[in-house]
Amino acid sequence: MNEFIEVKPISLKKGKGAFAKIDIFKGTTIDIGHIVLIPNKDFEKIKDTILFNYTFTWEDPKTKGEFINAIAFNVCQFINHSYTPNLRYFYDYKNQTIKYVTVRDVSKGEELTVNYNGKVKDNTPVWFEVE
């Protein structure tokens, strides 16, 4: 179990979300998600499945384009998108992980969010309607 994150339902449309179990200070690493690379040929097979909603772009130059997408199988999959996030993520290509770090103090009970565009202040539209 994760000491910082509690997963609970939000709505039928939004699904589940990750929430702070405790008050968390700015700069705290709250989770490190281990990823599984998805071969490009296999990615085509999951595009029309629910798993597609949990994939993300993984542009490790060392894989030479063979694995453009990945999926993580841990609590970080429930961290939703926001244009005013309280987290930021960092890719670690060597260890094939994603680290989630708070960008400000987070209160107990607050939903934990990241900007799916990769940068905290990037307001580029995402592929779904933002609530």
Q: What is the pLDDT of residue 85?
A: 95
The reported pLDDT for the residue numbered 127 is 63
The pLDDT value recorded for residue 111 is 96
pLDDT in tens, the chain (131 residues): 789 999 999 988 888 999 999 999 999 999 999 999 999 889 889 888 988 888 888 888 888 778 888 998 888 889 988 889 999 999 999 999 999 999 999 999 999 999 877 777 766 676 666 66
Q: What is the pLDDT of residue 122?
A: 67
What is the C-alpha to C-alpha distance for residues 97 and 31, in angstroms, rounded to an integer? 10
Residue 77: helix, strand or coil by DSSP? helix
Residues 6 or more apart whose CB falls under 8 angstroms from that of 3 comprise 21, 22
Please state, in angstroms and rounded to a whole number, the distance separating the CA atoms of residues 120 and 115: 6
What pTM value is reported for the model? 0.86
Domains, the chain:
5-114 (2.170.270.10)
The pLDDT value recorded for residue 126 is 63
